Structure 1
Amino acid sequence: MTNKQLTITAWKLGRSAVQTVTMEKGADLQNHVQELWLKERGLIRKATAVGKYIPVMKAFVEGFFSVRPSDHSPDWVLLPTSKKTAAVVMAMNEELSILSTIQELERIPFHEIVVVVNGSTDSSFMMARTSSRAIILHYNEALGHDVGRAIGAKITTSDVVIFLDADIPVAAEQLLSFVRETDRGMDVALNDLSRYVGMFSEWDEVSIMKYFLNRSNRREDLSVNSMTAVPHALSRKAIEVIGSANLAVPPKAQAIALQRGLRIGIGGSIDVFKKNRHRKDNVGANNPISMLIMGDHLEALGWAMREENPRLKYTDHLRKRERAKDVNKHHHPDL
């Protein structure tokens, strides 16, 4: 079946679905269309196999609404999985971007959208409350992004949880790959930033520490990719194995995931460097944010060294430590 045929088939199936399946009274229309879409698993598999999931999925939505002339076809992004999926969003003084972030998430039939507004002195909280779907957690004090993610993860019940920051709006379409990889069995789906950091000689100290943590845990293939960066997705298994409280220190959470055998890989590649709003505390060398991240990585390395061995994967090929013990016994018989 050609790509054009897939799209036409999807449109016809969407049109047929609205004519043959009655929506239950009081049901949410977006969730109803999502359920109808999931019944077309064969089409979903074919579209995914040829990299045409998004246009085929959108053709299904357009076909559905072609029978409803009173309704404009919405720009929804249906999920390729029946697993319950959630989004957790951190927000602190993000009145300029929080609505666009939430609106992108509302294009997806998420089971839960959790927005953690903390330490805000602007209108972020009031703007978040205009959403009819989001669960808003409000804290007067500043928690920090990572603590907020830990809180958000703890209250979710979904099988897959995507973590984002309100200052970096991400198109709904770009989140699908993170959902898909987690649905396929990945426990930690990271954002691949390796293509955006340049050559090793150009790396800053934070990128070097991220790479060293992965390398020390025998995962050089992960490069600089880290749970410190958004978006990333976790399976319910990952949240339970890592522990939601440990998500407050993302590098430590990653070290735990690596040490306990969770499946960690790449969920997608989104350049968040260009989108990230520059603040006075995250610009320049040795700024407070980079120092915090460096400290988190040292905590993660310390945890891994205690759990595995002090040298992690690095074997000491030079020192003959048993000879040192012999010398000590010769000079200090009481030892």
Structure 2
Amino acid sequence: MLRKRRLTGGAKRQTKKDKRPIGRVFNHPNPLVSVIIPAMNERATLPGVLRQAARIDSCCETIVVANGSTDGTPAIARKWGAHVITADEPLGHDVGRRVGAEAAKGQILLFIDADMIIPVAELRPFVKAVLDGVDVALNDYSGPTGGRKIHPVVVAKHSLNALLGRSDLQGASLTAVPHAMSRRVIDAIGYEALEIPPLAMVEALLRGFKVRAVHSVQVGRMNPVKYRGRQDDPLTSLIVGDHLEAVYRLILARGSRGGYSDLGRQRDKVR
């Protein structure tokens, strides 16, 4: 069990002799927190992301998974002091989370993305929640639900949580960053589950881990829209498919109706 303590500032004041970038990350040899940042051609935003990561805690490591980048992203990450893992070819969506987690040494794993600069004040609540006993600390972000037409990804998130008996989570999901997990969760569900975030959440809940939406970061306003106006949005298709895979796992665990009653229907009596 993690011992409770206050988070301490990460980056130290820069001296005149220190020519490194201000806020350069420091990789503690025995970190409490591992910050995992998948990155694919994110040289424009990565320095800002690392600057905030450097301030999360003094007992921290920062891992950048350069996923098929061709714009110098790995060199930038190394310049800022991050532990860099490179893949020559794109590994696919969310696979970088697994790769980073496998290399992580911390007791708390914080997952963020390289294309969104989220202030450290918005990141620390996820780490603190795990320190305080939460196993999976979710972003309390449900997506827009007030319009006439609701996005399929938002529907998928709400539907999965309802099927899990966790309507209290609304649309909170491991699909959305930031989120944090305790080491014991990852040890239980396995690294492979991290490649399919909704599946990882199902695995955690099936094992009785404490999953909470702990802090709201409005990532919908920050996340770059890559497929605006396309009816065949490949990312929407992928995320909806991830949720269907998670539902399938729930059915395998709880039966053909996912644990929901049939109220004694005598189906075999009717021909």
TM-score bracket relative to the smaller structure: 0.7 to 0.9
- Corresponding residue for residue 235 of structure 1: 182
Equivalent pair of 1:153/1:244 in contact (CA under 8 Å):
yes
Structure 1 residue aligned with 2:91, among 128, 131, 143? 143
Structure 2 residue aligned with 1:246, among 178, 193, 196? 193
How far has the Cα of 1:317 moved from its partner? 3.5
The answer to whether structure 1 residue 275 and structure 2 residue 222 are counterparts is yes
How far has the Cα of 1:297 moved from its partner? 1.0
How far has the Cα of 1:278 moved from its partner? 2.0
- Corresponding residue for residue 235 of structure 2: 289
Equivalent pair of 1:232/1:267 in contact (CA under 8 Å):
no
- Corresponding residue for residue 74 of structure 2: 125
- Corresponding residue for residue 161 of structure 2: 214
Say if 1:306 and 1:277 are closer, same or farther in 2 by CA, change over 3 A.
same
How far has the Cα of 1:246 moved from its partner? 1.0
Letter in 1 for 2:172: N
Aligned pairs for 1:176-215 (under 5 A) are 176-194=124-142, 196-199=143-146, 201-215=148-162
How far has the Cα of 1:180 moved from its partner? 1.1
Equivalent pair of 1:218/1:313 in contact (CA under 8 Å):
no
User: For the residues of structure 1 that align with 2:31 and 2:92, how far apart are their CA atoms?
Assistant: 29
Say if 1:145 and 1:115 are closer, same or farther in 2 by CA, change over 3 A.
farther
Which has a greater percent of helix?
1
Equivalent pair of 1:146/1:249 in contact (CA under 8 Å):
yes
Higher relative contact order (CA 8 A, sep 6+): 2
- Corresponding residue for residue 261 of structure 2: 315
Equivalent pair of 1:83/1:183 in contact (CA under 8 Å):
no
Equivalent pair of 1:90/1:145 in contact (CA under 8 Å):
no
Q: Sequence identity, in percent?
A: 35
Aligned pairs for 1:24-103 (under 5 A) are 84-103=32-51
User: For the residues of structure 2 that align with 1:246 and 1:200, how far apart are their CA atoms?
Assistant: 33
Structure 2 residue aligned with 1:256, among 195, 199, 203? 203
- SS of 2:225's equivalent? coil
How far has the Cα of 1:200 moved from its partner? 7.2
- Corresponding residue for residue 330 of structure 1: none
User: For the residues of structure 2 that align with 1:257 and 1:201, how far apart are their CA atoms?
Assistant: 33
- SS of 1:296's equivalent? helix
Letter in 2 for 1:309: G
- SS of 2:94's equivalent? helix
What 5-or-longer segments of structure 2 have no aligned partner? 25-29
- Corresponding residue for residue 248 of structure 2: 302
- SS of 1:113's equivalent? strand
Matched positions, count? 257
Letter in 1 for 2:34: A
What 5-or-longer segments of structure 1 have no aligned partner? 1-37, 45-52, 77-81, 328-335
Larger radius of gyration: 1
- Corresponding residue for residue 104 of structure 1: 52
Structure 2 residue aligned with 1:113, among 47, 51, 62? 62
User: For the residues of structure 1 that align with 2:39 and 2:211, how far apart are their CA atoms?
Assistant: 26
Say if 1:143 and 1:75 are closer, same or farther in 2 by CA, change over 3 A.
closer
Q: CA-atom RMSD, angstroms?
A: 2.9
Letter in 2 for 1:223: Q
- Corresponding residue for residue 48 of structure 1: none
How far has the Cα of 1:75 moved from its partner? 8.3
Equivalent pair of 2:35/2:112 in contact (CA under 8 Å):
yes
Letter in 1 for 2:255: N
